[in-house]
Structure 1
Amino acid sequence: MKTFKPNMITSALVASGIAFAALPAMAQDNQEQTAEDAVEVIKVSGIRASLQKSQAIKMSETSIVEAITAEDIGKLPDSSIAESIARLPGLAAQRLNGRSSSIAIRGLGPDFSTATFNGREQVTLGDNRGVEFDVYPSEIMSEVIVYKTPEATLMTQGIGGTIDMRTVKPLAHGEKTMAVTLRGEQNDIGALNPDGEDTGWRGSFSYIDQFKDDTLGVAFAYTHMDSPNNEERFETWGWPDGVIGGMKPFVRSAELTRDTLMGVIEYSPRDDLRINVDALYIDFEDNQTLRGIEIPAAWGDAGITVDETQNGYSHTGTIGGPGSPVGGVVRNDRTIREAELNAFGLNIEHDLSPNWVLEFDAAYSQVDRRTWALEAYAGSGRGFDDRLPEQIGFEFADDNQSVDLDPQLDYGSHDVIQLGNPQSWGWGNLTDLESSDDQDGFINTPEIDDELTTIKLAAERIFDYGMVSSVEFGAYFSDRTKSKIDNGLFLTLPGALDENNNVIPGYQMPVPEQYRVPNTSLGFIGIDDMIAFDSFRFWQDGNYVEFDSRLSDPARWQNTWSVSEEVTIGFVKANIDTMIGDIPVRGNAGVQVVHTDQSSDGFASRRIEGRRLDVQETSGGDSYTEVLPSLNLIAEIADEQSVRFGISKTMTRSRMDRMNASSGELSFNEQVGIWSGSTANPSLKPIQANQLDLTYENYFHSEGYFAAALFYKDIKDWQLQVPEIVDTSELETPEGFDPSPVGVLSSWKNVGDGKVNGLELTLSLPGVMLSDALEGFGGIFSATFLDSELDFQLEVPTDTQGGTELQEFNVTVPGLSEEVYNATVYYERAGFEVRASWRSRSDFLGEVAGLSLNRVPVNVFGSDLLDAQISYDFSESGIEELEGLTVTLQGQNLTDEEFVTAHSIDGDGLDVRDAQRFGRNFLFGVNYKF
């Protein structure tokens, strides 16, 4: 098949016993024999072996890629797939609840890249396409390949790139192996809730074997994780005119439980037939307890007195006062997210002749996700008139990322703080139309179902002579349907309602004894005691009257939808292997023709009387065809030195929450006297990019190389919510407002062009190159510098009479940090392995959960994360009884770096949205391989 000419470095890798499917021609007998005869065998293991294998993959691929490989069975370099990927040049991770989860490739966030499992597109747990990588355990992965440039045989592309997670191939592994891993885990911030945990454990078992004269191979892995996570969070509502609008400090205790089963069967009864079947099952549960006090300020009815300002922001003062009680809402919330993911794949390759190969691939994946997000309210009274006297003194830190509070009330007393609604929340509840004091809690229960089927038929024609070594061509079909049902229930205490279901003024009830737990401390903001109870069990036991929010809240219908896509791809790729003068040149050139038929079903709602809604079914869709050419060339300009060039057209399919058929109700904005609303767009087209890539690589050692990469992405059809004038003359405005003949409806559209460009520098340096005394030392370092420009003009409404004007827009690219740095230094010798890893990124536009669990964009402050690990492999100890045993101690987030976001994207850094502190995580474990 493809020829690959090994130089001295790749020969050394073969001699070291490193062989894998990514280097097909290196398995040719004559080349292996030549390498073995010429190169001294130096056995390496652990991180050094992983670096060698990753480097060899990077060298052999004709596209521009990054790679990480497992150091041993069930042992990637980190405890999380996301953390391992985030250390690669040009990549960065965003933390979610203290864990690295989503990945940006070259400054483009998870919405702009795709993730595959064994080369196949996967369904996702989230509301869109972006993969949450903490769902996938690192223990089942053999390697991860990140494609920065596309090729025609890569069925899932994105303008950011493609991340392919791969499991082991049992026949290629070549020997019977069993491995057991067991690790304990502790979160040093402590269990911040009395019913929380700060210790957990992880375990895995892997088995690989070959049968029937190495024609049948099997691999099996089971992993379990019970991982704690605790957080102190200071969250704000906003800062109107620099004055705190309100705040919500709380402590969160979470436990992530995950069980994973992975199986691979590989069968090759003869040399010309290869059959591979793989299956994956993940059972995932994230259980979170959140307790804190929500405190209205400038945006509350108690008011605020500011004594001192600093840098234009309220620094010290008092919330509430005599005759104007604060009405702090004591929250005992619980969020449970459960999901099951199933994935199955079948791949068959048959060599019709030495020059023809046929391939059939079929896959199915499906995920069900269910969430329960309960809010339970308590306070000093029901509504404004019944609150106890209450005021809170405050003093903010200089960076506005924390606060010290001095409350008047005893929030830890069950006599003072009782169940009920102190803030008159609940206009959407229809229990009592004359009252807004009937919401004593709320529970969001959204559901996600995602289902995907793919089929691929391909053939390869191999040529014995000429510049084209082979041509691959074929067809691919996928059918995907993703749906979301956005449910929610208003909760009212039964005793708060009289026989006519009207609210009894001032009603409260103490938390029943059987649901109480020891008080929670909010000492990080100056409140040592707050009542705590098992709110979820309280709800499960039927202690609330429930009312379906879909009867009165149009947003629930707007967030309920189903999106279907049928994608058909025809592709052809020529693999190039030739000489231009004295310079060897290899690569690939190809094209995909992609036809997409997309459709959506949803709902439109409008208010008909009082708080009730009229709901109608809606649908929409579109189809389109795109042609995506690609070219990747590698010129070996000198021994171990090459220049890579790539040019391609790529596309990223729209987020599904933007392309659904549901629309929201027009609501009247009393501040500006106009009707407004928003809608998605089922005809939304993909974002496209024409991209150029140029890379210089110098492989000066089997564990060392230098690379410099320049890239440019010319982006087309960017997506933006565009406002338009609509006729609202028939809508009745609220009492006291003039009729509004027109309103503004915003919808997602393909508008505007832009660019993303950058520079990546990477150095992998083994210490022995500097001095023999540094044998075993080494480091890998990378720096990425990014720039973007998304500027365009739009005609937008200016008044209620239909006036418009041309406005300039400057859009921030989600996920783009202007600077990203990674550094890992290590020592590995005589069984000892020590490493420390640092990763840093500057500010970027991220995404977090907002109201009703909907994803919202926020500006995320830059951060520096430091992890370290030390281990000892007893195989080097000479103690026969301990052969195969490795012990490891790992520390994560050693500098206790906080996760901080701001309300405004281009603010001064003091408009803090929230500051989250997670503490450090420590893991101690053993791995036994036999």
Structure 2
Amino acid sequence: MKKVGLTALSVAIASALGSSPVFAQDTEADANVEVIQVKGIRGSLSSAMDVKRDSSGIVDAISAEDIGKFPDTNLAESLQRITGVSIDRTNNEGNQVTVRGFGPSFNLVTLNNRQMPNSSALETAGISRSFNFREIAAESVSGVEVYKTGKAHVSSGGIGATININTARPFSLDPFVAVWSAKAVMDTSVTVGDDVTPEVSGMISRTFGDRKFGILASFSHAERHSHVDRIGAFNWAQGYPGQADPDTSAIDTSRNPTLTTWRTPTVDLDDANYERERQNGALVLQYAPTDTVTITADYVMSRLDDKGNMNRMSFWFDNVETGAADVNGTIINPGRMNDELNFWSWEYNFETENDSYGLNVDWRATDALRFTLDYHDSTSHSNPGALPAERLANLKNPFGALAPVTIGADFSGDIPRVSYDDSALDGGAYALANIEGDLYQERGFEVENNIEQIQFAGKWMNQEDGALDAINFGLAHTIYTIDSVKINGANFGLGNGALDISNLDLTFNPGDIGFEFVPVYSAAQFIDLVKEQGLFIEPNKSLNGIEETTTAAFVSFDFVTDFNDMEVRANVGLRYEETDVESYSINRPVVGFNWLTPLEMSKVFADTEVSETLDGAYEHFLPNIDFSISFTDELVGRFAYSRTVARSDITAMFPATSLNNHLATGPFRASQGNPNLLPYSSDNIDISLEYYYDEGSYVSVGHFRKQVDNFIAVGEEERVIEGPNGPLTNPAANPRPGCPGGAADNPDPNCVSQPGDPAIEWIVSTPLNLDETQVYGWEFNVQHMFSDTGFGTIVNYTMVDSNDTYDVYSLENDFALPGLSDSANFIAFYEQDNYQVRVAYNWRDAFLLSGGLEPLFTEAYSQIDISASYDINDSLSVFVEGINVTDEATRRHQRFSNQIRDYEVYGPRYNVGIRGKF
């Protein structure tokens, strides 16, 4: 099916309807329908239960407790209450979701059934398709649906689930509605900034002319200051930093027969402070020119402004001189003489702007036939202007014989301890006279992600007797475009007196884990000094982009009949999609390296840019069969089969080669994207039994199996990389006189790559569709209302497993599915008269956060949240909320538990507010 033909057909249909293309939306309310609004915890849970009970396939839902009142302050926090859904947290706030063990990149999130763009600014975050729930205010949401089985009419992109967020429309509300809320956010972690910040929101909706016209406007503003304490380490690895002769006598050779050892180059103590400001707004206009036509135009926006400052105390093992391995092979007591302490400062500063424009028409042509046509143009733009999102600076003690500092660490316990001997320094390592400049870096992304989508859908409803109830059909055309600018600038040659830091405002706070102090200074001021002294190097900027054009067609059939006095429902559908991919990279290629210090080699770029382009294409058929039978009025059984897909992360598809690790001591690592990556494909089977035994109360048990193909694994090869002037060579392999030396902006020719130097053997990784796996599990859920007492509870538990789990004792690049873990929730509430009280306990077991040659695990985590409210009258209520009230910490480790990466403490957060409604 040609995309030109589909677009032309869509425009022709739109012209026939007498309007522009619009977005397909299943709006049940029209001008003559009275809307009954459910409210309160019991009403919300009963409404969500009805969605689950009446749906075909496996669907869970969350409904607003009242207009402008969602169960939690954050959408992700609400979604984790659903069986099989767990969340990822950043800075003690849910931001992305995992469904049935499939992480954020395997789930599609839509807004009012529209695919939404996403963008990011931090280099460490990469460029993901995954919607970040922190960017939309929960107060603007009327409900969320989680489709755990594939549907022909639902846009593809979610293997774990497709999550649809619904917002209010004027015709779905009373003739006049106005709601508002104001609350104070009290973050107990704050040490710098305001520990109490405001959040306000409001919405007003009005219909006119006997509900022929409607307008809705909403807005929210939220501020939050926060603090994070972190203890951690850098990447644990087998080859870096080097160690000549480690003590391996304690290693258990039955588990580690090759006596492999792992080391980390650094130990970190971080003190971080963040500020976040978010605005959300929406404007919705509805017009019903006749009783059968509804036209909706809408605009949705969000603005997110993130700022942060972090100071770090650490040291860096250029190599390890002494150290013994534990039973697994982890070097638990590394030591080195003649080294230095490092005093770091980080600055984070970036914005995200999201805008979505939509127009839709709903036409009930006859009693039996209905058409919808929808169009939207949505953009997410992070870091406009391509300014660095992350700026960092480092200070150090003068290196080597001038100031010998002996450094060491102890990794035998859960939390590392450090030690150092600075007795050879007059005044010690923290004396200002013994601290000098070292380096700065600037990095980040500017990303503009645009989705332009047009969809046409039709539904024919049988008005006669027969098992066939309805036929659904439609076409869709989606253009998904990403343009990115990667910013990367640095000067690693600021030591040995090159930078005068006498005007730098440097102070110290008390330290921990063996560090006497933590530095306090500004990376921005440091870089300003670099600029004033003529040592600043303009950052290199590389351009990468992708355009995916997807054309789709679907048809499905709904059947309703009786079998032995039991109602039987079925939905059988097929979706066909074809996708064309075009990707590009434009950058100044690396022509060599400048050897500045014993460790650092900076890149030397060509004067002119080069362009690379690659194409890809694929197609797939996505069938689904949903079957349900009502054994009794209370007992429902379901069976579902579907095939679903999830597309690859964006950064895996850029054609350019990135030189990721090029320290003088090696190893030399690079990566290259692959735009020919096929989507992940999953064949899914679901079976469930649900018992609805009372109003708002039910028990369900379900089993699911997913056979997933085309999993992306990293293929590695060792090869020489060609630059514009020939192979990239290593100036550190055979040192010339005076090297390392020179400066980043004034290189010593002896210390720069020359054609006669040995060619570098790079370990180049490329993503490839290599693996398959099977995921299976059970979901158990109980929702119970204790008669008219006002008490109720929700208890659910999800068990997930896979054929492929990461073997920490294997030295191969084991394939395993990230995000796979059991999870459970326990919620108890009381709602009677004017009072509401709720306590929620959420638990997620340990899971693999990322795989590859060296894995990263997130350890088991639990959190308790509370909320309570009191209705002063029908129009006014007050409330209090507590998040993470027991002050739980997050811990991540690599291959073994003592290979710590992060231990982060956030502190509880409380909200106190007032809510009004007219």
Normalised by the length of structure 2, the TM-score is 0.82
User: What is the identity, as a one-letter code, of the residue corresponding to 2:457?
Assistant: A
Structure 1 pair 482–44 and aligned structure 2 pair: CA distance change class (3 A): closer
Partner residue, 2:7: none
Separation (CA, whole Å) in 2 of partners of 1:658 and 1:669? 24
Partner residue, 1:698: 691
2:373 to 340, 344, 360: 360
Separation (CA, whole Å) in 2 of partners of 1:564 and 1:516? 47
Q: Does the Cα contact within 8 Å between 1:413 and 1:531 map onto a contact in 2?
A: no
Q: Which residues in structure 2 correspond to 1:54-453 (within 5 Å)?
A: 54-126=48-120, 127-191=127-191, 195-238=192-235, 241=261, 245-296=265-316, 299-300=317-318, 324=338, 326-370=339-383, 371-381=388-398, 383-384=399-400, 386-387=402-403, 390-391=405-406, 398-400=413-415, 415-416=432-433, 418-421=435-438, 440-453=439-452
Question: C-alpha deviations, 1:591-628, integer Å up to 9, x for none?
Answer: 11101011100157453576534553111112222111
Separation (CA, whole Å) in 1 of partners of 2:469 and 2:30? 16
Q: Does the Cα contact within 8 Å between 2:660 and 2:670 map onto a contact in 1?
A: yes
Partner residue, 1:631: 625
2:857 to 832, 845, 859: 859
Partner residue, 1:427: none
User: What is the identity, as a one-letter code, of the residue corresponding to 1:146?
Assistant: V
User: What is the identity, as a one-letter code, of the residue corresponding to 1:752?
Assistant: D
Worse-superposed segment, 913-922 or 169-178? 169-178
Q: Does the Cα contact within 8 Å between 2:836 and 2:869 map onto a contact in 1?
A: yes
1:336 is paired with a residue whose SS is strand
Give 5+ residue unaligned stretches, structure 2: 1-24, 121-126, 238-260, 595-602, 736-756
Q: Does the Cα contact within 8 Å between 1:822 and 1:838 map onto a contact in 2?
A: yes
2:678 is paired with a residue whose SS is coil
Partner residue, 1:607: 591
Partner residue, 2:826: 823
Separation (CA, whole Å) in 1 of partners of 2:395 and 2:720? 43
Structure 1 pair 739–354 and aligned structure 2 pair: CA distance change class (3 A): same
Partner residue, 1:463: 462
Question: C-alpha deviations, 1:470-493, integer Å up to 9, x for none?
Answer: 112121001111122111222489
Q: Does the Cα contact within 8 Å between 1:360 and 1:456 map onto a contact in 2?
A: yes
Q: Does the Cα contact within 8 Å between 1:200 and 1:228 map onto a contact in 2?
A: yes
Deviation, 1:142, is: 0.5
Q: Does 1:681 align with 2:696?
A: no
Partner residue, 1:429: none
Deviation, 1:234, is: 0.7
User: What is the identity, as a one-letter code, of the residue corresponding to 1:455?
Assistant: I
Partner residue, 2:247: none
Separation (CA, whole Å) in 1 of partners of 2:274 and 2:199? 16
1:812 to 816, 819, 840: 816
Partner residue, 1:880: none
Partner residue, 1:894: 885
Question: C-alpha deviations, 1:522-557, integer Å up to 9, x for none?
Answer: 54435564442333255468446321453xxxxx75
Deviation, 1:125, is: 2.0
Partner residue, 2:836: 833
Q: Does the Cα contact within 8 Å between 1:226 and 1:258 map onto a contact in 2?
A: yes
Q: Does the Cα contact within 8 Å between 2:416 and 2:513 map onto a contact in 1?
A: no
1:572 to 548, 555, 560: 555
Q: Does the Cα contact within 8 Å between 1:275 and 1:349 map onto a contact in 2?
A: yes
Structure 1 pair 685–807 and aligned structure 2 pair: CA distance change class (3 A): farther
Separation (CA, whole Å) in 1 of partners of 2:375 and 2:644? 24
Separation (CA, whole Å) in 2 of partners of 1:718 and 1:133? 26
Worse-superposed segment, 575-584 or 74-83? 575-584
Q: Does 1:874 align with 2:888?
A: no
Structure 1 pair 414–739 and aligned structure 2 pair: CA distance change class (3 A): closer
Q: Does the Cα contact within 8 Å between 1:412 and 1:530 map onto a contact in 2?
A: no
2:902 to 889, 914, 929: 914
Separation (CA, whole Å) in 2 of partners of 1:314 and 1:677? 27
Q: Does the Cα contact within 8 Å between 2:110 and 2:162 map onto a contact in 1?
A: yes
Deviation, 1:183, is: 1.1
Partner residue, 2:712: 719
2:513 to 516, 519, 525: 525
Q: Does 1:516 align with 2:505?
A: yes
Separation (CA, whole Å) in 2 of partners of 1:668 and 1:346? 51
User: What is the identity, as a one-letter code, of the residue corresponding to 1:180?
Assistant: W
Deviation, 1:416, is: 3.8
Q: Does the Cα contact within 8 Å between 1:197 and 1:254 map onto a contact in 2?
A: no
Q: How many residues align?
A: 816
Separation (CA, whole Å) in 2 of partners of 1:386 and 1:159? 58
User: What is the identity, as a one-letter code, of the residue corresponding to 1:827?
Assistant: Y
Deviation, 1:752, is: 2.3
User: What is the identity, as a one-letter code, of the residue corresponding to 2:353?
Assistant: E
Q: Does 1:562 align with 2:545?
A: yes
Q: Does the Cα contact within 8 Å between 1:889 and 1:922 map onto a contact in 2?
A: yes
Partner residue, 1:481: 481
Deviation, 1:346, is: 1.4
User: What is the identity, as a one-letter code, of the residue corresponding to 1:913?
Assistant: R
1:657 to 651, 654, 671: 651
Percent of pairs with identical residues: 23
Question: C-alpha deviations, 1:411-447, integer Å up to 9, x for none?
Answer: 99673465501xxxxxxxxxxxxxxxxxx31111421
Separation (CA, whole Å) in 2 of partners of 1:277 and 1:405? 65
User: What is the identity, as a one-letter code, of the residue corresponding to 2:711?
Assistant: W
Partner residue, 1:747: 766
Structure 1 pair 417–45 and aligned structure 2 pair: CA distance change class (3 A): farther
User: What is the identity, as a one-letter code, of the residue corresponding to 2:273?
Assistant: S
User: What is the identity, as a one-letter code, of the residue corresponding to 1:679?
Assistant: Q
Deviation, 1:844, is: 1.3
Separation (CA, whole Å) in 2 of partners of 1:476 and 1:598? 17
Separation (CA, whole Å) in 1 of partners of 2:45 and 2:26? 15
Q: Does the Cα contact within 8 Å between 2:101 and 2:800 map onto a contact in 1?
A: yes
Partner residue, 1:801: none
Question: C-alpha deviations, 1:795-815, integer Å up to 9, x for none?
Answer: xxxxxxxxxxx9986422121
Q: Does the Cα contact within 8 Å between 2:351 and 2:382 map onto a contact in 1?
A: yes
Deviation, 1:153, is: 0.9
Deviation, 1:459, is: 1.7
Structure 1 pair 95–543 and aligned structure 2 pair: CA distance change class (3 A): farther
Separation (CA, whole Å) in 2 of partners of 1:861 and 1:492? 35
Separation (CA, whole Å) in 2 of partners of 1:404 and 1:79? 43
Q: Does the Cα contact within 8 Å between 1:392 and 1:405 map onto a contact in 2?
A: yes
Q: Does 1:788 align with 2:797?
A: no
Question: C-alpha deviations, 1:84-106, integer Å up to 9, x for none?
Answer: 11111100001123221111111
Structure 1 pair 304–226 and aligned structure 2 pair: CA distance change class (3 A): farther
Superposed CA RMSD: 3.6
Partner residue, 2:20: none
Structure 1 pair 758–275 and aligned structure 2 pair: CA distance change class (3 A): same
User: What is the identity, as a one-letter code, of the residue corresponding to 1:701?
Assistant: D
Q: Does 1:765 align with 2:765?
A: no
Structure 1 pair 22–864 and aligned structure 2 pair: CA distance change class (3 A): farther
Deviation, 1:26, is: 14
Separation (CA, whole Å) in 2 of partners of 1:44 and 1:411? 68
Normalised by the length of structure 1, the TM-score is 0.81
2:653 is paired with a residue whose SS is coil
User: What is the identity, as a one-letter code, of the residue corresponding to 1:823?
Assistant: F
Q: Does the Cα contact within 8 Å between 2:39 and 2:64 map onto a contact in 1?
A: no
